Amino acid sequence: MSEPLVIVFPIYQGVTQLDFTGPLQFLRHMPGAEIVVASVGGADISAEGLHFTQLQKLEEVTRCDVLCVPGGAGCTQALENDAFMSQIRRLGLDARYLTSVCTGSLILAAAGLLQGKRAACHWSMRESLALFGALPSHARVERDGNVISGGGVTAGIDFALALIAELHDEETAQMIQLYLEYAPAPPFQGGTPELAPAHVLARVQAQMADSLRQRRALVAQIAARG
């Protein structure tokens, strides 16, 4: 019997839950997949009002075929967590595929795993990828060799389907898409800065301005430390 295909989601305090629960919902239906959700020390994780318990210890995960790093407001704090980042490097160096959703690509990049690689990210932090030698991509799902990344939050579902097609085939991905009735038809066109009405974009940018300024500055400091 062949070994299962191990997909590891390393999570941390302040992770955006949909960044990993969205892809997880699709990937768990993939034949032969073993899903591992882990944190440093197996600690409970709080994420946007949800609490994840009984997690595996990240440092005890011996291998993974796919490392999938989610993003979130806690991403910048995760970048400063040496215990977390050392495990990302360890697992990433031997993974068949390096993958991410949203600002999870910043974590991969800061771990030194995306040098010269194109990667997607949430639009608000996308350009910070360049501080770590990665190439920011505006794609909803970006593929560069064994690096497959999704843009912000909901792009994680599109990413998961692309990954399933890569690991199996398009028909398997389409079957899972049908089973989960993924047929997006948003009531508004405006999920990216390019599509959003100007006044909506301006309000969102104003609301995010202070936190983004702080996050970008912290990421720049981390990058400068090398």
Residues with a catalytic annotation lie at 102
Closest Cα partner for 106 from 144, 83, 77, 145? 77
Joined tokens for residue 174 = 């389409």
Q: What amino acid occupies position 128?
A: S
CB-based burial label for 206 (10 Å; 0-12, 13-18, 19+)? exposed
DSSP for residue 46 = E
Closest Cα partner for 47 from 61, 56, 57, 37? 37
Length of the chain as a residue count: 226
CA distances from 96 to 44, 108, 196, 208 (A): 28, 14, 36, 36
Q: What amino acid occupies position 7?
A: I
Distance, CA of 76 to CA of 72 (rounded, Å)? 9
Distance, CA of 107 to CA of 10 (rounded, Å)? 11
Phi-psi region of 14 (alpha: psi -120 to 50; beta: other; left: phi over 0): left
CA distances from 183 to 20, 38, 157 (A): 19, 30, 11
